């Protein structure tokens, strides 16, 4: 059985999500994609991913924020600057961490959930935050 080629929207989905990778954005800038008018038209076209009927397929929704930032020429120039790139990357990580905290998904709560699921079963090791387990 032959594998079918990916559909256009699958390719665009993969690409738009790749924009959440700040190092990839830096690569695009270094190779002058972010100053290419045709590429910028493509970036503008990809804004349809902001519509709920499409955005529901995104695993990395921060890519939509980056898609918006890419409309700004100053952002496209600054992404070449290592300090700026690192600041953007750190801000994204903080957003992910804060989002996890808002929804109650933190490493601590995940570990507590594992310990609670173990109950009184002495055959199962409990998981502790400091990495040690007990029987």
Contact 18, 42 (CB under 8 A): no
Over 50: is that where the pLDDT of 24 sits?
Answer: yes
pLDDT of amino acid 115: 46
Q: Classify the C-alpha dihedral 66-71-72-76 as positive or negative.
A: positive
- What is the value of pTM for the model shown? 0.67
3-state SS record for the chain: CCCCCCCHHHHHHHHHHHCCCHHHHHHHHHCCHHHCHHHHHHHHHHHHHHCHHHHCCCCCCHHHHHHHHCCCHHHHHHCCCHHHHHHHHHHHHHHHHHHHHHCCCCHHHHHHHHHHHHCCCCCCCEECCCCCEEC
CA atoms within 13 A on the CB side of 131: 0
Which residue segments constitute the domains of the chain, with CATH numbers given? 8-102 (1.10.10.1340)
Question: Model confidence over 31-74: pLDDT tens digits?
Answer: 999 999 999 999 999 999 999 999 999 999 899 999 999 999 99
Question: Model confidence over 68-110: pLDDT tens digits?
Answer: 999 999 999 999 999 999 999 998 888 777 766 554 444 444 4
Between residues 93 and 8, which one has the greater pLDDT?
A: 8
């Amino acid at each position: 059985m032959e594998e079918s080629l990916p559909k256009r929207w699958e390719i665009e989905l993969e690409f738009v999500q790749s924009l959440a990778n700040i190092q990839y954005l830096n690569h695009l800038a270094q190779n002058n994609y972010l100053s290419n008018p045709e590429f910028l038209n493509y970036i503008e076209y990809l804004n349809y991913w902001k519509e709920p009927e499409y955005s529901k397929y995104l695993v990395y929704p921060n890519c939509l924020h980056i898609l918006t930032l890419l409309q700004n020429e100053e952002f496209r120039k600054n992404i070449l600057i290592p300090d700026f790139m690192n600041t953007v990357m750190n801000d994204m990580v903080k957003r992910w961490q804060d989002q996890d905290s808002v929804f109650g998904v933190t490493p601590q709560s995940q570990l507590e959930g594992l310990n609670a699921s173990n109950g009184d079963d002495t055959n199962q090791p409990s998981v502790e935050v400091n990495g040690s387990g007990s029987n």
